[in-house]
Amino acid sequence: MKILPDAFIQKYQELLGQEAAAFFASLKEEPVPAFRTNPLKKSQQSFSCTIPNTDWGHYGKISGKSAEHVTGLVYSQEPAAQMVGQAAAPKKGMRVLDLAAAPGGKSTHILSYLDNTGILVSNEISSKRCKSLVENIERFGAQNVVVTNESAQNLAKTFRHYFDLIVFDAPCSGEGMFRKEPEAVRNWQDSLPAKCADLQKQILREAIPMLAYGGQLVYSTCTWSPEENEEVVSWLLQEYDYLDIVELPKLNGMTEGIGLPEAARMYPHRFKGEGQFIAKIKDNRDEKAVSLPRGKSNLTREEAQLWQEFAAKHLKRPLKGLLQTFGANLYLLPDGLPDLSGLKIARNGLHLGTFKKKRFEPSFALGLALPKHDIEQSIEIDIEQFKRYVSGDIIFLTDTYPNGWYQLCVKGNGLGFAKVVGHTIKNYFPKGLRFYA
């Protein structure tokens, strides 16, 4: 790690007092790698080094080239960041907004709790960062999520008083990432926290109108600066007199907020992970339903027939949701969404596949999302076949299968759809994702 700025050292010597020496020493240590398992995947594996007081967390590194990663069984996320999704812990059926979602750690954690119920709108204002968000959401295999590429101000025009829960991991000075990202050290200036706090307040002003009556807001940053943490939360509580702070349990070495004991702080000399601040806020107004214009299906009669024929032949149970096309592509959106036509959409629900001349071709995403017991035809491949397939090669079969579409599975979890022709499995692994394992 680069040498810490003098102003940063002085600031945290004053804030932490006798603990400052241990805090600065911890910033010289290696970051703590960790990952979560994906409960949406029906074929699970046993992993060691469980993170205490978590449902799916484990210490350790995972390979981006492993079958576990490619099929979405595991997701890399450091321990402190995992606490944000755990603080949110949405109940099944909730409508949730992840307002600043890239690269997808908090969204995939939220999806673990929702268990393919309710709705998640996973939003990222940066078009560049939105690409990795879409890839991570797709790999995770959830069926109840839409990815948007919008500002909070534009989202609020569509989702007024809509969300039961909003998770806002705010853009910040990034002090908690000093061990992982040397760039954060280079970019830090004494004036940066105050500038970030102004931006955080601006976004919160735009986001609060989307909170349902009686809903909850989880506010978090990956910094220790009080200007961006407790001071922003205190401003929020003063600005909106119907909001109250909720007590968060202090797990695994978390400490209380500075002058705000209900909030939680994570310091690397106390908590085995990087830096994080979390506060949970509740809207105390009486709950009431808000009616918004609903989205509608736009399939032609021919498209509807082609999809129904494919589904009848290949799926053991119907998929629930709203069917919409975008160009030649067919998507499944969760029920209960308002009309999204005024928004920039990066992933319009679950991509089911593509309409081609008088036929329907299933997507890679559909083969990731569905468990094999929901599909009529599947083929289990071994690790050597997996390595060949992800590099773009065809797979030769020793057994005889009728020609047609099959879900490929490795270690029991889906790896997309592929077509069997004769004694070969043609390669449908997306070209942009191919690699040599």
Assign residue 191 a region (left: φ > 0; alpha: ψ between -120 and 50; beta: otherwise): alpha
Q: Say what the pLDDT of residue 94 is.
A: 97
Question: Given a cut of 80, is residue 211 above it in pLDDT?
Answer: yes
Asked whether residue 344 is assigned to any structural domain, the reply reads yes
- What's the confidence (pLDDT) of residue 354? 98
Q: Is residue 72 in some structural domain?
A: no
The residue-averaged pLDDT of 179-189 equals 92
User: Among this protein's residues, is 196 annotated catalytic?
Assistant: no
Provide the mean pLDDT of the chain: 96
Catalytic pick from 130, 196, 222, 409?
Answer: 222
- Assess whether pLDDT exceeds 90 at residue 102: yes
Looking at the fold, whether 223 and 239 belong to one and the same domain comes out as yes
Boundary of a domain, candidates 347, 375, 403 = 375
Task: List the CATH number of the domain containing 356.
Answer: 3.10.450
Domain identity same for 381 and 371: no
279 within a domain of the structure (yes/no): yes
Q: In terms of domains, do 385 and 345 share one?
A: no
- 400-428 average pLDDT score: 96
Residues in the annotated binding site for S-adenosyl-L-methionine: 100-106, 124, 169
* Domain coverage including residue 354: 293-375
pLDDT at 100 over 80: yes
What digits encode the pLDDT tens for the residues 142-169? 999 999 999 999 999 999 999 999 999 9
- Asked if residue 308 and residue 236 are part of one domain, the reply reads no
Residue of 400 and 225 predicted with greater confidence: 225
What does residue 188 show for φ and ψ, rounded to 5 degrees?
-70, 135
Confidence of residue 98 (pLDDT cuts 50, 70, 90): very high
pLDDT band for 266, please (50, 70, 90 cuts): very high
pLDDT value for 345: 97
Residue that wins the pLDDT comparison between 415 and 288: 415
Are 106 and 226 in the same domain?
Answer: yes
Same-domain check for residues 92 and 240: yes
User: pLDDT at position 288, please?
Assistant: 83
Residues 381, 367 share a domain? no
pLDDT tens, position by position, 359-395: 999 999 999 999 999 999 999 999 999 999 999 999 9
Q: What's the number of domains the chain is made of?
A: 3
Averaged pLDDT for residues 218-226: 98
Q: Do 122 and 231 share a domain, yes or no?
A: yes
Surface-to-core class of residue 294, CB atoms within 10 Å of its CB (0-12 exposed, 13-18 middle, 19+ buried): exposed
Percent of the chain scoring above 90 in pLDDT: 95
What is the band of 289 on the pLDDT scale with cuts at 50, 70, 90? confident
pTM equals: 0.97
Residue 51 resides in a domain: no
